[in-house]
């Protein structure tokens, strides 16, 4: 989860990811590497001050029991009078409601100099955590995909072009400042074709199945979403935990806009199938999110300027290479292709 503070004209002032929050005395932040994911005491307090930040300070200051947002100025120092705070919950663990079983934060107004702290504990959360100790694997490692060795797509350029989100999109989305977003507008609703997207999956913690964070993952979360071109409204999202990841660590995503599913495009063969034919009949955009990227993981578009095209070589094998193919393309793949080129080697010319 994360909190985002925005000011006038919806300008993002600061964000606070879960791992940056200092817990209340006696509580644990379960989002830290190696922390107890099922810790019972996990309370925290956030303060929002209408003052500008102290000289030389950031707009969010995590101090013990006093995680403070300063809303008195925008990031550039412009005085600020209005705004909002939003909380994002990306993927609640399995078995919980959309708040993760703890409910929404309680809001209290108090004098600026008075120390006030919410000491609320959710009985519902305490009850549900006692029964959640699932041991599902973080990834689905299938047997070798029949398509893995049948590699026509590796010799071709990608049909999809990805770009960093621009300034206008940034304001609409109110993004977490610790997340990298790229968009592709070249989505064709051709009922006679399948959109095949293949990329190497960044590693991520399996918090969905109530497993804690190790700290050596490439990022905390990634997802692929269909959104509208106008307004950037979310229509459908495929999260990292919902994909099939093949033995070589790749996602083989096959999207249909009306075409029938080829018989070999199965989870057992390493494919993820999405039927997009029922989405609203509006122009579609694909939206790829990389959330809380590790400083040791370089294969994202974070250094590409806003609104600019992302060169495939920047993300290398982690670049979602998309091609429109005939459904018969998959039926032509069989185990006798194993002497052909490995699909992992894309041509980016």
Q: SS3 helix, strand, coil % of the chain, rounded to 5?
A: 10, 25, 60
Give the tens place of pLDDT for each residue, 185-202: 879 999 999 999 999 999
Cβ 165 vs Cβ 288: under 8 Å:
no
The CATH fold of domain 153-337? Jelly Rolls (2.60.120)
Give the tens place of pLDDT for each residue, 82-124: 999 999 898 999 999 999 999 999 999 988 765 555 544 333 3
* CB contact set of 4 (below 8 Å; sequence gap of 6+): 12, 14, 15, 85, 86, 88, 174, 175, 176, 177
* CB contact set of 341 (below 8 Å; sequence gap of 6+): 151, 154, 155
Where are the chain's structural domains?
1-133, 153-337
* CB contact set of 27 (below 8 Å; sequence gap of 6+): 39, 41, 42, 43, 44
Query: What CA–CA distance (Å, rounded) separates 229 from 184?
Result: 10
Give the tens place of pLDDT for each residue, 328-339: 998 765 433 332
Average pLDDT over residues 282-292: 92
Secondary structure letter of residue 82 according to DSSP: -
Q: Which residue has the tokens 């070249």?
A: 186
Name the average pLDDT for the chain: 82
Cβ 17 vs Cβ 62: under 8 Å:
no
Give the tens place of pLDDT for each residue, 65-91: 689 999 999 999 999 999 999 998 989
pLDDT at 325 exceeding the cut of 80: yes
Phi and psi dihedrals of 40, rounded to 5?
A: -75, -45
Query: What CA–CA distance (Å, rounded) separates 205 from 203?
Result: 7
User: Which structure tokens are listed for 323?
Assistant: 């091609």
User: Which structure tokens are listed for 319?
Assistant: 């670049």
Average pLDDT over residues 231-244: 90
Binned at pLDDT 50, 70 and 90, residue 175 comes out as low
Binned at pLDDT 50, 70 and 90, residue 46 comes out as very high
Residue with more model confidence, 335 or 2: 2
Prediction pTM value? 0.80
Distance of CA 47 to the CA centre of its chain: 26
Cβ 299 vs Cβ 315: under 8 Å:
yes
Strand 84-88 to 163-164 pairing? unpaired
Query: What CA–CA distance (Å, rounded) separates 13 from 57?
Result: 13
User: Which structure tokens are listed for 128?
Assistant: 């549900």
| pLDDT score, position 169 | 67
Where would I find the beta strands (DSSP E) of 25-140? 46-49, 60-63, 66-70, 84-88
Q: Is 279 exposed, middle or buried (0-12, 13-18, 19+ CB in 10 A)?
A: middle
**Residue 72, CB-side half-sphere exposure with 13 Å CA sphere:** 12
């Amino acid at each position: 989860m994360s909190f985002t503070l925005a000011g006038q004209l919806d300008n993002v002032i600061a964000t606070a990811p879960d791992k940056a929050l200092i817990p209340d005395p006696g509580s644990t932040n379960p989002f830290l590497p190696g922390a107890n994911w099922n810790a019972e005491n996990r309370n925290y307090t956030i303060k929002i001050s209408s003052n500008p930040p102290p000289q030389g300070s950031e707009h969010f200051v995590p101090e013990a029991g006093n995680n403070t947002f300063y809303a008195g100025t925008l990031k550039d120092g412009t005085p600020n009078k209005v705004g909002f705070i939003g909380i994002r919950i990306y993927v609640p663990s399995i078995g919980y409601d959309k708040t993760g079983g703890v409910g929404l934060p309680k809001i209290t107004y108090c004098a600026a100099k008075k120390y006030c702290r919410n000491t609320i504990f959710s009985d519902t959360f305490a009850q549900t955590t006692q029964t959640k100790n699932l041991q599902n694997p973080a990834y689905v490692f299938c047997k070798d995909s029949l398509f893995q060795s049948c590699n026509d797509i590796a010799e071709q350029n990608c049909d999809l072009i990805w770009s960093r989100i621009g300034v206008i999109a940034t304001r609409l989305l109110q993004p977490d400042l610790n997340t990298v977003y790229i968009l592709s507008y070249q989505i064709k609703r051709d009922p006679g074709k399948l959109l095949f997207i293949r990329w190497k999956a960044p590693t991520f913690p399996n918090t969905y199945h109530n497993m804690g964070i190790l700290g050596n993952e490439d990022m905390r979360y990634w997802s692929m979403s269909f959104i509208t071109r106008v307004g950037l409204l979310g229509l459908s999202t495929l999260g990292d935990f919902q994909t099939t990841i093949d033995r070589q660590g790749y996602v083989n995503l096959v999207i249909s806009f009306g075409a029938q599913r080829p018989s070999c495009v199965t989870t057992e063969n390493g494919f993820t199938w999405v039927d997009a034919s029922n989405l609203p009949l509006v122009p579609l955009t694909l939206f790829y999110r990389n959330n809380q990227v590790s400083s040791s993981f370089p294969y994202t578009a974070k250094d590409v300027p806003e609104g600019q095209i992302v060169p495939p070589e920047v993300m290398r094998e982690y670049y979602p290479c998309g091609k429109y193919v005939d459904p018969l393309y998959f039926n032509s793949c069989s185990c006798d292709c194993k002497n052909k080129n490995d699909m992992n080697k894309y041509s980016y010319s």
